[in-house]
């Protein structure tokens, strides 16, 4: 028995190497089971999916595999693969990452959080709402992971202040000293910490007098409020990321793949996406808050591309002065001649921006290009012919539910990279607007609430030690269900007008004529249903 345990430990220690070597051998029959190009492309996609899910290689390194495998297997020449890593969509996302560095440098997230929390008061349900609103607003412009990592310490400090835990005051005093340093060095007025803001004199007196152990009911109430706070932050980060094109990678992957599959499609841009997704975010945020509070809170025309705009705004950060310029300085010959510090320096951006995400996006675009050029996406869509007899509304509901379930176990980026080429070809076969299937699929990838491993924000909240898996499954199941139903409501109501989903556009018709030859019998009456 001891020998088996030793062997198991040794196997576990080399698990990544085993996956790295065995996965290509296990997937090799796929190459021979399909036509040459389609089989080779599916082999590469499955191999990348396995490597991404198991992290046998770093995610960004796995994203570089198409540069090696696509030319080697005759799927695409390198001249078509490499440009996918430097599309304007990548630079749009890069502008968001650099903006996040500037926000973190000047503690803007803390200021927004404190202002919102001062407005909502100290009742647990209202505090949960304040945290959810703040996190979702940040997540619209920053990555979901960064928003969660920024907000969890604030939530922890507020809860410690609210419950007046004696041992936590020591921890928070050291946190206050650490947080005070950057605000002073940045030349800003010092901010009150969360403790100073929310802890009234009565709370301090109460905490000193009531050191006796709490009743069991009180302790359960405190634990529930802790859970509600911690679980609301990653959920609202995932919801808020859907509201803007730069909020989460799947949204940008949709934009990039639309330009690849349908170059003439200009319906989706920053403005049209925001008009569609922001109301959806508000509705989902409201329902999510009611559900979490019930469980834990005690409440029964365009000339410039978006990439050009994003990079232009980010460029300003590198020379805009961090302090208000003064005319007196020019006439004061004794004043120090020091260079004005900008809002953001390149060293700060270089140190804090996760550059590997750009490669990850590029790998997704390269994979999509391979699916299109090899004919794999068309081949897979043909296998989905049972959906042709289904009404479009029911098809969208089924697709959204499947993707929302799938993304519980795989990263949302990998999920959307795999599904989008299939959804685009399926829409062509169904003769419906491609965005009618692609938009719900994209947003559905962000609705992963049930498991700690579903998203990095979920993992961060779970690592705090106050949540159990059953807490996330219980709360997340209904969150997933509400998200799928709200998404289907949005795509069948106001999205119809914004994206003109009731028509089969000419750019999709042109793609259909050049890529997929449809029998006339397949032109079903889905448009009449819409």
User: d(Cα 119, Cα 123) in Å, to the nearest integer?
Assistant: 11
Instruction: Output 108 or 286, whichever has higher pLDDT.
Output: 286
Instruction: Output 318 or 214, whichever has higher pLDDT.
Output: 318
User: d(Cα 67, Cα 104) in Å, to the nearest integer?
Assistant: 34
User: d(Cα 487, Cα 170) in Å, to the nearest integer?
Assistant: 45
Q: At what angle do helices 108-120 and 144-163 cross, to 10 degrees?
A: 50
Q: By mean pLDDT, which of 200-209, 297-306, 316-325, 450-459 is the weakest?
A: 200-209
Q: Do the beta carbons of residue 248 and residue 412 sit within 8 Å?
A: yes
Residue 375, burial from CB neighbour count under 10 angstroms (0-12, 13-18, 19+): middle
pTM of this structure: 0.64
Task: Tell me the mean pLDDT in the region 215-244.
Answer: 84
Write out the two tokens for 391.
């009404």
Residue in this structure with the two tokens 């990079």, named with its chain if needed: 311
* Mean pLDDT of the residues in the chain: 74
Q: What is the chain's length?
A: 530
Tens-digit pLDDT profile for residues 481-501: 999 999 999 999 999 888 888
Task: Tell me the mean pLDDT in the region 434-447.
Answer: 90
Please give the pLDDT value at position 427.
Answer: 84
SS (H, E, C) 311-327: HHHHHHHCCCECCCCCC
| pLDDT bracket for residue 305 (50, 70, 90) | low
**Closest Cα partner for 429 from 390, 484, 480?**
390
User: d(Cα 464, Cα 127) in Å, to the nearest integer?
Assistant: 19
Phi-psi region of 6 (alpha: psi -120 to 50; beta: other; left: phi over 0): alpha
Tens-digit pLDDT profile for residues 113-138: 777 767 776 677 888 888 888 889 88
Say what the alpha-carbon torsion angle 187, 192, 193, 194 is, to the nearest 10 degrees. Answer: -140
Please give the pLDDT value at position 61.
Answer: 82
Tens-digit pLDDT profile for residues 253-262: 888 778 777 8
Share of the chain above pLDDT 90, in %: 7
pLDDT(207) > 60: no
- Phi then psi for 321, rounded to 5 degrees? -65, 145
Please give the pLDDT value at position 294.
Answer: 84
Q: Do the beta carbons of residue 405 and residue 454 sit within 8 Å?
A: no
Q: By mean pLDDT, which of 135-144, 241-250, 271-280, 339-348 is the weakest?
A: 339-348
Q: What SS3 class is residue 391?
A: coil
Please give the pLDDT value at position 128.
Answer: 86
Q: By mean pLDDT, which of 179-183, 299-303, 305-309 is the weakest?
A: 179-183
**Closest Cα partner for 145 from 233, 61, 250, 256?**
233
| pLDDT bracket for residue 337 (50, 70, 90) | low
Q: DSSP letters along 324-353, please?
A: ---SHHHH-TTS--PPPPBS--HHHHHHHS
Please give the pLDDT value at position 517.
Answer: 44
| pLDDT bracket for residue 196 (50, 70, 90) | very low
User: d(Cα 204, Cα 174) in Å, to the nearest integer?
Assistant: 18
Task: Tell me the mean pLDDT in the region 85-113.
Answer: 71
Please give the pLDDT value at position 58.
Answer: 78
Q: By mean pLDDT, which of 152-156, 282-286, 311-315, 348-352 is the weakest?
A: 311-315
Please give the pLDDT value at position 319.
Answer: 62
Q: What SS3 class is residue 122?
A: coil
Please give the pLDDT value at position 440.
Answer: 92
What's the CA angle centered on 503, arms 497 and 509, to 5 degrees?
A: 140
Please give the pLDDT value at position 162.
Answer: 67
**Other CB atoms within 10 A of residue 426 CB:** 27
**Closest Cα partner for 320 from 329, 332, 312?**
312
Q: Do the beta carbons of residue 430 and residue 524 sit within 8 Å?
A: yes
Task: Tell me the mean pLDDT in the region 408-436.
Answer: 80
| pLDDT bracket for residue 472 (50, 70, 90) | confident
Please give the pLDDT value at position 423.
Answer: 85
Sign of torsion, CA 212 207 289 414?
negative
Q: What SS3 class is residue 174?
A: helix
Please give the pLDDT value at position 357.
Answer: 66
pLDDT(80) > 60: yes
Task: Tell me the mean pLDDT in the region 289-315.
Answer: 66
């Amino acid at each position: 028995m001891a020998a088996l345990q030793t062997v198991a430990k040794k196997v576990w220690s080399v698990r990544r190497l085993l996956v790295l070597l065995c996965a290509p051998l296990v997937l090799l029959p796929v190459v021979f089971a399909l036509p040459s190009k389609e089989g080779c492309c599916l082999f590469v996609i499955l191999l990348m999916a396995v490597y991404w899910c198991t992290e046998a290689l770093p995610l960004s390194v796995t994203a570089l595999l198409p540069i090696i495998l696509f030319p080697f297997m005759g799927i695409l020449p390198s001249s078509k693969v490499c440009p996918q890593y430097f599309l304007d969509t990548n630079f749009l996302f890069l502008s968001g990452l650099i903006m996040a560095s500037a926000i973190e440098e000047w503690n803007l997230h803390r200021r927004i959080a404190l202002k919102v929390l001062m407005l909502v008061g100290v009742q647990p349900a209202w505090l949960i709402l304040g945290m959810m609103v703040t996190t979702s607003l940040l997540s619209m412009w920053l990555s979901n992971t960064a928003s969660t990592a920024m907000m969890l310490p604030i939530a922890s400090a507020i809860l410690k202040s609210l419950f007046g835990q004696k041992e936590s005051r020591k921890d928070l005093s050291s946190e206050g000293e650490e947080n005070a340093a950057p605000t002073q060095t940045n030349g800003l007025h010092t901010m009150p910490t969360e403790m100073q803001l929310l802890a009234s004199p009565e709370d301090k007196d109460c905490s000193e007098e009531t050191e006796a152990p709490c009743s069991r009911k009180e302790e359960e109430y405190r634990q529930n409020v802790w859970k509600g706070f911690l679980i609301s932050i990653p959920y609202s980060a995932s919801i808020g990321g859907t509201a803007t094109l730069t909020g989460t990678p799947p949204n940008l992957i949709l934009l990039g793949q639309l330009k690849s599959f349908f170059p003439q499609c200009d319906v989706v841009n920053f403005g049209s996406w925001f008009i569609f997704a922001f109301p959806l975010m508000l509705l989902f945020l409201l329902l999510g808050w009611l559900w979490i509070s019930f469980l834990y809170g005690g409440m029964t025309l365009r000339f410039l591309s978006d990439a050009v705009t994003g990079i232009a705004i980010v460029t300003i950060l590198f020379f805009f002065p961090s302090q208000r310029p003064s005319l007196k300085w020019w006439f004061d010959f004794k004043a120090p001649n020091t260079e004005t510090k900008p809002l953001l320096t390149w060293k700060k951006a270089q140190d804090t921006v996760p550059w590997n995400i750009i490669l990850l996006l590029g790998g997704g675009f390269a994979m999509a290009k391979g699916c299109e050029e090899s004919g794999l996406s068309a081949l897979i869509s043909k296998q989905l012919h049972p959906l042709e007899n289904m009404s479009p509304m029911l098809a969208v509901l089924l697709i959204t539910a499947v993707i929302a379930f799938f993304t519980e176990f795989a990263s949302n980026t990998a999920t959307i990279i795999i599904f989008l080429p299939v959804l685009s070809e399926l829409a062509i076969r169904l003769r419906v607007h491609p965005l009618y299937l692609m938009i719900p699929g994209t947003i559905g990838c962000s609705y992963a609430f049930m498991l700690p491993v579903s998203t990095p924000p979920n993992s961060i909240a779970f690592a705090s030690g106050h949540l159990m898996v059953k807490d996330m499954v219980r709360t997340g199941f209904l969150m997933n269900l509400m998200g799928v139903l709200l998404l289907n409501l949005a795509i069948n109501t106001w999205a119809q007008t914004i994206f003109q989903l009731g028509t089969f556009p000419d750019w999709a018709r042109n793609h259909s004529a050049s890529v997929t030859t449809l029998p006339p019998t397949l032109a079903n009456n889905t448009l009449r249903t819409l």
